[in-house]
Amino acid sequence: MWAGRHVVVGVTGGIASYKSCHLVRRLSEAGARVDVVLTRGAAEFVRPLTFEALSGRPVLTSLWEPDRALAHVRLGRECDLIIVAPATAHAVARLAHGMADDFLTALLLAATAPVLLAPAMNDEMYAAAPTEANLAALVRRGFATVGPERGPLAEGASDRPGRMSEPEVILHHAARVLRRGSALAGRRVLVTAGPTREPLDPVRVMTNRSSGKMGYRIAQAAWHRGAEVTLISGPSTEPDPIGVAVERIETTAELEAAVARALPAADVLVMAAAPADYRPADVLDRKRPRQEGSLTIALEPTKDVLLGTRSLRRTGAVIVGFALETGDAAEKAAAKLVRKGLDLIVANDALEPGAGFEVDTNRVTVLDRDGGRHPLPFGSKAAVAEGILDLVEVRLG
Ligand code: CTP
């Protein structure tokens, strides 16, 4: 997503500017060309040399350098995105009033690129009426904001917002701003992920090796594309995707109930979960003691959640299933696509190296209901998620 993108990071004079070093580094590592613009105050906190080393490019600070005349106007028009982090109360006030007395404010006044502000300031300053009015004016002008968050401030603990969002969180919000205009923007996307856990007794469960990674990456990528995303997740150690409403379930029956509640409003369903097909027929209410000889446990089938959603789907909704197979993945997936009434099915082979459960990479072929086959390049699950959503967007039209 960031490769080849041109991002301007404006840093204003707040203590949080040390975190902007990490933000610049992450953007550069991800392949973006990053131009850092410092205000005079920011240069008091972090030396320009630090940002030059991290971005590999000269840092811009002054309007008055002879060979950079009009660079501020050009930059704000040529770049793909401008992030101001931290945006202090003073910087927010200057921007809201259209001041243009240094490189950063002049650039922002002339900019046509989208802007994301990460405010950071003392909690009283953030709560003050002028700051509120200034930020509201900038939001009306089309600027996006992230944070501030509650948590420790330079002057001590506070339970009120003021602290700048972490660089990782800013990056996800920046991705959403960058992807404005995607076909998924404003759509409701429902994603399921992870395994289910079927109890045998209060201590033991039956589960599978699904990590949830693929579904979590899809939920995050859909949010980047502007969708309103709900993720229904079985037990997973993955961190919650930023911006996504996460609902936790344990059993296939709970998954079925959660999907039934959310699906009628959804424009897209991506069923990446790996629900158990069977559950113990008798769940004991006490821990089963060890006994002599072998043990046979009777299992009963669970419902096929995806199949059962047919009557709940909105007209025009795009329904995506997964098929994890061990051999002949595409043929078996094609049959499932028809049986479950899907628009797309993502087929992968658990026996292929680097694909399937518990790894960060995947190799999949997406089949569509019109007989199209779309092999996606081998890559990270994040990259595969983008490929799957590209095909969802085609079907959304
Ligand atoms: N699925 C579901 N409910 C189940 C089992 C699977 O909704 N009880 C969904 C999965 O989330 C996936 C799709 O159905 O999107 C295919 O899952 P898979 O386990 O490959 O298919 P099954 O229909 O269970 O077929 P089989 O296990 O016989 O291969």
Mapping DSSP onto H, E and C, the string for the chain reads: CCCCCEEEEEECCCCCHHHHHHHHHHHHHCCCEEEEEECHHHHHHCCHHHHHHHHCCCCECCCCCHHHCCHHHHHHHHCCEEEEEEECHHHHHHHHCCCCCCHHHHHHHHCCCCEEEEECCCHHHHHCHHHHHHHHHHHHCCCEECCCECCCECCECCCCCCECCCHHHHHHHHHHHHCCCCCCCCCEEEEEECECCEECCCCCEECCCCCCHHHHHHHHHHHHCCCEEEEEECCCCCCCCCCCEEEECCCHHHHHHHHHHHHHHCCEEEECCECCCEEECCCCCCCCCCCCCCCCCCEEECCCHHHHHHHCCCCCCEEEEEEEECCCHHHHHHHHHHHCCCCEEEEEECCCCCCCCCCCEECCEEEECCCCEEECCCEEHHHHHHHHHHHHHHHHC
pLDDT tens column, 69-120: 677 788 999 999 999 999 999 999 999 999 999 999 999 999 999 999 999 9
Q: State in Å: Cα 223 to ligand 1 middle.
A: 25
Q: Tell me the CATH number for domain 6-178.
A: 3.40.50.1950
Dist CA 300 CA 281 (whole Å) = 5
pLDDT category at 268 given cuts 50, 70, 90 is: very high
Q: What is the mean pLDDT of residues 177-181?
A: 94
Residue 349 class from Cβ within 10 Å (0-12 exposed, 13-18 middle, 19+ buried)?
Answer: buried
Report pLDDT digits (tens) over 365-387.
Answer: 999 999 999 999 999 999 999 99
Q: For residue 66, is pLDDT > 70?
A: no
Indicate if the pLDDT at residue 123 is higher than 90.
yes
The mean pLDDT value for 295-317 works out to 95
With a Cβ cut-off of 6 Å, ligand 1 is lined by 252, 271, 273, 275, 277, 302, 304-306, 321-324, 336
Reply yes or no on whether the pLDDT at 157 is more than 90.
no
Residue 219 has pLDDT above 90, yes or no: yes
Instruction: Please write the tens of the pLDDT for every residue from 80-90.
Output: 999 999 999 99
Query: pLDDT over 90 for what percent of the chain?
Result: 86
> Which pLDDT belongs to residue 240?
97
Ligand 1 pocket test: which of 218, 305, 346 has the largest number of ligand atoms within 8 Å of its C-beta? 305
Q: Ligand 1, atom 28: nearest CA belongs to which residue?
A: 277
- For the CA of 273, the nearest atom of ligand 1: 11
- Cα separation, 174 vs 146, in Å, equals 9
pLDDT tens digits, 231-251: 999 999 999 999 999 999 999
Q: Which atom of ligand 1 is nearest to the CA of 306?
A: 7
pLDDT recorded at residue 67: 66
Q: Whose CA is nearest to atom 21 of ligand 1?
A: 323
Q: Closest ligand 1 atom, CA of 320?
A: 15
Q: How far is the CA of 271 from the centre of ligand 1 (A)?
A: 9
pLDDT digits (tens, 9 = 90+) for 30-60: 999 999 999 999 999 999 999 999 999 999 8
Q: 188-278+298-396: same fold as 6-178?
A: yes
Q: Are strands 344-349 and 318-325 parallel, antiparallel or unpaired?
A: parallel
* pLDDT of amino acid 69: 63
Residue 354, pLDDT score: 75
pLDDT at residue 217 tops 90: yes
Superfamily of domain 188-278+298-396, CATH level 4: CoaB-like (3.40.50.10300)
For residue 142, the model assigns a pLDDT of 96
| Mean pLDDT over the full length of the chain | 94
Kindly list the domain boundaries of the chain, sorted by start residue: 6-178, 188-278+298-396
Quote the ligand 1 centre to 285 CA distance (angstroms): 29
Average pLDDT over residues 222-226: 98
Residue 208 a catalytic site member: yes
Per-residue pLDDT band for 19 (boundaries 50, 70, 90) equals: very high
